[in-house]
Structure formats: structure tokens, C-alpha cells
Amino acid sequence: MIKPQNAIKKNNKIFFGINAGLGSGIMNEWGSDYYLTLSGTLGLDLIFPMGNVFAIGPYLSAGLDSYDFATTFGAWAMFRFRNESGIMLGGGLNLLPGWDATGISVRLGGKFPNRIYLFGELTTSSYFYYSYYSGVSATDAVSFLIHLGVKLF
């Protein structure tokens, strides 16, 4: 009986990790042509246990998303298994400060028993502006990144 209690106690530790992502996207600039873009980010993830199976916490990533520096703030939820693996789901707000652009971010992935976690992230961003000649115009971008992370503790 002592072994299962120790396994549960070990599973309740706070999850802190770092990740790096790389991917590509499509951008439609000012209603004209579509461009293929490259995206890359670095991020920090934090998960707090909420019982033996469920955990939740914030995340932050920063990097080049589609066509400008971007920061993404959001929250994770993780459904954990006894062997320290888990399924992770998250979402957040994507901000591009240089363009005053905003968008959303959605993440889905998994954590493996060997401190490695992997997830895909879909981000969108839109920038609206007013031009004297063309009225309101917009730049829209969608990116998909694959992230590889390492749990530090």
C-alpha cells in the first residue's frame, strides 16, 4: 500500500517547463497576396496540481509569429496519468505589439514520462488600420507550430 501513495504524491508535483517551437504560416497582407511565413517561439509553462488527475496553469511564449514579434499568454489544462504522462490542452491571447494586432492561440499535446512534452499550437492574428485611400484594411495571419519542451521540475 505504500507504493501507490508514493506514486500519487510524486504525481502531484508542480510542473515547470521550457519549450521551443518552429512552424510556418500563411499571411494575407492588406487584402492582396498570400505569403508563406516562418514562425519560431520560446516559452515557459507552469502547471499546478488540482488533485491526482487534473492540473491547470499559465503559460507565456515569445518569438517571431508570422511576420512580427509576438507574445502569447494563456492557460493549460492537463489530464495526468499515474506514469507521469498526460494530455495537455490550452488556449490564449496572441499579441503583436509592433502592429497593435491581436489573435488567439490554441494548443494540444502530451507529456511523456521522461520529462519531455510535445504539442502543436495554432495561432491567429489580425491587424486593422484605416487608410485615407482604401478605408479600413486588415492583415491576417495563421501559423501552426510544433513545440518540444522539457519539464525542469
Rg of the chain (C-alpha set): 18
**Grid coordinates 491526482 are at which residue?**
52
pLDDT at 66: 58
Strand residue runs (E) in 6-100: 15-29, 34-49, 54-65, 68-80, 86-96
- In terms of Cβ atoms closer than 10 Å to its own Cβ (0-12, 13-18, 19+), residue 39 is buried
Task: Please name the helix (run of DSSP H) or strand (run of DSSP E) that holds residue 2, with its range, or none.
Answer: helix 2-11
User: pLDDT tens-digit profile of 37-58?
Assistant: 888 899 999 999 998 899 999 9
Contact present, 19 and 149 (Cβ < 8 Å): yes
pLDDT tens for the chain, residues 1 to 153 = 454 544 444 556 788 999 999 999 887 766 677 778 888 899 999 999 998 899 999 999 998 765 567 788 999 999 988 888 999 999 999 887 666 678 889 999 999 999 999 999 998 887 766 656 555 556 678 889 999 999 987
Q: Nearest Cα to 68, choosing from 44, 102, 45?
A: 102
H-run or E-run covering 114: none
Does domain 2-151 fall under CATH 1.10.10? My reply is: no
Grid cell digits, residue 12: 502531484
Locate the domains of the chain by residue range: 2-151
